[in-house]
Chains A and B, each alone.
Chain A
Amino acid sequence: MLAPQLEIQLIASVIAAACALPGVFLVLRRMAMMSDAISHTVLLGIVIGFFLTRDLGSPLLFIGAALTGVLTVSLVELINRTRLVKEDAAIGLVFPVLFSIAVILISRYAGNVHLDVDAVLVGELAFAPFDRFVVFGYDIAPRALVIGVIILLLNLMFITLFYKELKLATFDVGLAASLGFAPAAIHYGLMFVVSVTAVGAFDAVGSILVVALMIAPPAAAYLLTNRLSHMIALSVGIGVISAVGGYWIAHWIDASIAGSMATMTGICFGVVFLFAPERGLVALARRHNRQRWDFAQQMLATHLLHHEGTPVADAESRIEHLTRHMRWAPAFAAQVVRRAISRGLIYQQGDMLALTEYGRRFASEAILR
């Protein structure tokens, strides 16, 4: 028996991991907004499933919801195929309709059931430990945890079984189709998985957090690596960190757990966005900076090489001359000279500059490049 605090973190982590797995493929396949659409429309499936079974715990609700997810995708594609509206507009048309129908059904026929729209959008993780999964009188774990683990395992299975197919259909649809991998089947399979995940997760964390957990960690991982397998692992890791970190923030300021988890995914992404080793903003700025000095030194060396041994060499090799010829600010010119000297490209005699042997080679290579 775990303490409720630990249980909440465990549930959140499991769900974060389960969401990150299909999320990677949504992000890579440019279908991220489909998760937003699906996480809203599954409500309709749940409502219809509930009307059929009159039981909020029935597995039929799951199936109904997953089917509505697939229905959403099919409707979007049906509208796309008419070419009457553009693709983004098709998504924007379909999911509000299905969501509206669900809202009306709930408020009209299920007003007194525990099925309100706020809970769907926002979720309440804090109460998850009190809803127990009991088998033969033994209290095993919170229901949300059991569901989360099942979904995580399902997603893991889907991705390991169809890893090659998913990879191919994601990066080269044409090749996948020509090799007989049925990218359409993969596509719908993935959408089914996304739907199941959305249903399983939204109960605990709400549909908006599902979107955050599906998109933000893979987006961050996408900036960190070029390898699919690494991206999946990193996404899961970032998702779990966001989940646990979000829980503690919520605990600390006494606010919505789902909301803080979503915020935390944003913070994680922000950190990666700034500090990713190769693609982060800081790395980009440093690379820019380095390239600027490199280029200036190349210019200087080429300039000296060009005039070396000519009658104007004396005039052209003065430091003051650089400010005029290259249009460099004096401070910048001095800095370039300092860097070039310390790199052994040039040496200084009085206020004249001359190339070293290394500098001469460097300059002629720079010209050829």
Chain B
Amino acid sequence: MDWHILQELFTDYTLRTVALGAATLGIISGTLGCYAVLRRQALLGDAMSHAALPGIALAFLLTGSKTPLILLLGAALAGWTATLVMMSIVRMTRIKEDTALGFVLAVFFGFGMVLLTFIQKLPNAAQAGLDSFLFGQAATLVERDVITMAGLGAVALALMLLFWKEFKLLSFDPEFGASQGFPIRLLDILLTSLVVIAIVVGLQTVGVVLMSAMIVAPAAAARQWTNRLGLMVALAGAFGGLAGIAGALISAMGRGLSTGPVIVLFISAIVLFSMLFAPNRGIVWNWLRRQRNRRRLKLEAVLGDLYALSQQHESLKHGHSIEVLRVMDARRGGVQRSLETLETRGWAQRVGVDAWTLTPEGKHRAEQAAVGRYG
């Protein structure tokens, strides 16, 4: 590990700008992406980011300016239009959402390509830098871009906090919200607009294709750790920001490590880790829980069998062979291990070479378990 790079973070202007930009993007898309994921609009981000291209090109064609704010405005308007077109197709025809999404994505992007090639052939070709929006060139970020990103992001996050309760309602139970008199359609449009802002803010850093991952991944990772929206949003923002900084640093360390893809791989690794190890939901956690349950069931079965046998004899002094228990417990197996566990817990004891019986404590437990099960 080259720790030198961390020092450069504070001294190297380019690296600092890129890292700050990537972190800003990660925080904004992480927080707002939560709503997209919760509302099953994960792929809307993909469609919107592709659809932003004609907006960028048109904004440049109409104003001749490459000011980030103007280009982003164009991108936002186009992304917004695309969402509107998609929703009307779904509402007015029998075409399903996935088809409408793919349609909008490809057609808007294609139209954007037409405009872009058209611009490239203009005589006063000042279009250089426009295609960095396409594939993401974090290295082209300058301070002005980062300030624009942070400004837009701050507005979006402030609105999100302002309408926290409303957006929560919108995400989880819009019908109830409507019945309580909230202007659900307006809120829907506002929230979608905020997601559009998050997307256009990220385009320049990670590009059209990978932007969807920045919307989906932090939220998907955060979702594994908590059931509370507040915590999920905060975690997603943190994951996104972390991935941004880490991606910028890692990509600065090696040749040919483009920032966008590295950020995406980093955040995806966080997703994988979360899906595996998050408590309660994680795959490993679930597997452990299943194992524990299985052991407990086996243990209870042997305990119950010993109890049933003890009922046939006057006292607990009478030992029973492990083979008897195995026959009684034919399908579950692991009788030996269960007996040993029972012994260490003091619920069963050996009274001979191959003779097991319950302790008084074990008998009590078995009775309790029976009451719990049948009483």
Residues of A within 8 A of B (CB): 27, 30-33, 35-36, 40, 79, 82, 84-86, 88-89, 91-93, 96-97, 99-101, 103-104, 107-109, 111, 117-118, 121-122, 208-209, 211-212, 214-216, 218-219, 222-223, 249-250, 253-256, 258-263, 265-266, 269, 273, 279, 281, 284
Contact A209 B210 (CB under 8 A): no
Decide if A265 touches B42 in the complex (CB within 8 Å).
Answer: no
18 A-B pairs within 8 Å (CB atoms) are namely A27-B95, A30-B98, A33-B43, A33-B98, A33-B101, A79-B275, A84-B281, A86-B40, A88-B41, A89-B219, A92-B46, A93-B271, A100-B265, A118-B134, A208-B109, A254-B118, A262-B110, A273-B93
Question: Cβ of B309 < 8 Å from any Cβ of A?
Answer: no
Q: A109-B256, A281-B92 are in contact. Are A89 and B216 (CB under 8 A)?
A: yes
A36/B213 in contact, CB under 8 A: no
| Known A96-B213, A255-B114: A31·B98 in contact at CB below 8 Å | yes
Residue of A nearest to B212 (CB): A92
A218 smallest CB distance to B (angstroms): 8
Cα–Cα distance between A117 and B209 once the two chains are bound (Å): 11
Q: Is the CB of A103 within 8 A of B43?
A: no
Interface residue B79 (Cβ < 8 Å from any Cβ of A): no
Do B95 and A223 have beta carbons less than 8 Å apart? yes
Instruction: Among A31, A36, A88, A250, point to the contact of B114 (Cβ < 8 A).
Output: A250
Chain B residues with CB under 8 Å of A107's CB are 256-258
Check B217 for interface membership: any CB of A closer than 8 A.
Answer: yes
Most buried by A among B46, B113, B261: B113
- B40, B107, B117, B121: the one within 8 Å of A88 (CB): B40
The closest CB in chain B to the CB of A92 belongs to B216
A261 touches B110 (CB 8 A): yes
Q: Evaluate contact between A216 and B101: CB separation under 8 angstroms.
A: no
Q: Does A97 lie within 8 Å of B42, measured CB to CB?
A: no
| Chain B stretch 101-125: residues in CB contact (< 8 A) with chain A | 101-103, 105-118, 121
Q: In the complex, are the beta carbons of A108 and B110 less than 8 A apart?
A: no
In the complex, the answer to whether B116 meets A256 with C-beta atoms within 8 Å is yes
A residues in contact with B149, CB < 8 Å: none
Q: Check B111–A208 contact: CB distance below 8 A.
A: no
**Chain B residue nearest to A213 in the complex (CB):** B106
Task: Enumerate chain B interface residues (CB-CB to A < 8 A).
Answer: 37, 40-43, 45-46, 50, 89, 92-96, 98-103, 105-118, 121, 131, 134-135, 209-210, 212-213, 215-217, 219-220, 223-224, 254-258, 260-262, 264-265, 268, 271, 275, 281, 283
What residues of chain B lie closer than 8 Å to A88, measured between beta carbons?
A: 40-43, 98
Query: Is there contact, CB below 8 Å, between A259 and B254?
Result: no
Q: How far is the CB of A91 from chain B (nearest CB, A)?
A: 6
Q: Is the CB of A96 within 8 A of B103?
A: no
Chain A at the B interface: mostly helix, strand, loop or mixed?
A: helix
B102 and A36 contacting across the interface, CB-CB below 8 Å: yes
In whole angstroms, what is the CA distance A104 to B112 when docked?
25
Contact call B268/A262, Cβ cutoff below 8 A: no
Q: Within the complex, which residue of B101, B111, B268 is in contact with A266, where a contact is CB–CB below 8 Å?
A: B111
Which residues of the partner chain B approach A269 to less than 8 Å between Cβ atoms?
A: 103, 107
Q: Are B112 and A259 in contact (CB under 8 A)?
A: yes
If the complex has contacts A84-B275, A215-B99, are A103 and B261 also in contact, measured as CB distance less than 8 A? yes
Residue of A nearest to B97 (CB): A30
* CB within 8 Å for A96 and B111 given contacts A32-B101, A104-B262, A219-B103: no
* A-chain residues with CB within 8 Å of residue B134 when the two chains form the complex: 118, 121
CA distance A119 to B121 in the complex (A): 18
Contact B213 A93 (CB under 8 A): yes
Q: How far apart are A206's CB and chain B's nearest CB, in angstroms? A: 8
Given contact pairs A30-B96, A84-B275, A108-B254, A262 touches B42 in the complex (Cβ within 8 A): no
Instruction: Select which of B40, B100, B219, B258 is within 8 A of A103 by beta carbon.
Output: B258
Question: Do A92 and B45 touch (CB < 8 A)?
Answer: yes
Which B residues are in CB contact (< 8 Å) with A85? Answer: 37, 220, 223, 275
CA distance A259 to B116 in the complex (A): 9
Q: Are B102 and A215 in contact (CB under 8 A)?
A: yes
Across the interface, which residues of B come within 8 angstroms of A101, CB to CB? 261, 265
Q: Give complex CA distance A69, B261 in Å.
A: 19
Given A91-B43, A96-B213, A100-B210, the answer on whether A117 and B114 have CB atoms closer than 8 Å is no
Given pairs A107-B257, A259-B110, A266-B107, 15 additional interface contacts (CB within 8 A): A36-B105, A82-B283, A84-B283, A85-B223, A86-B37, A86-B42, A88-B41, A100-B210, A104-B265, A214-B102, A223-B95, A255-B117, A256-B113, A259-B116, A269-B107
Q: Which residues of A contact B121 (CB under 8 A)?
A: 254-255
Q: Are A211 and B111 in contact (CB under 8 A)?
A: no
Whole-angstrom CA separation of A101 from B264 in the bound complex: 9
Contact between chains at A93 and B109 (CB < 8 Å): no
- Report whether B92 and A121 are in contact in the complex, using a CB–CB cutoff of 8 Å: no
On whether the beta carbons of B114 and A99 are closer than 8 Å, the reply is no
Chain B residues with CB under 8 Å of A254's CB are 117-118, 121
Query: What is the bound-complex CA distance between A82 and B102, given in angstroms?
Result: 25
List 3 A-B pairs, minimum CB-CB distance, nearest first.
A262-B110, A259-B113, A266-B107
Contact check, B106 vs A262: say whether CB atoms are below 8 A apart. yes
Is the pair B216, A216 in contact by a Cβ cutoff of 8 Å?
A: no
Please indicate the chain B residues that have their CB under 8 angstroms from the CB of A91 in the complex.
42-43
Contacting residues, chain A, for B118 (C-beta < 8 A)? 253-255
**Do the beta carbons of B98 and A273 come within 8 Å of each other?**
no
Cβ–Cβ contact B107 & A212, under 8 A: yes
Residues of A close to B40: CB separation below 8 A: 86, 88
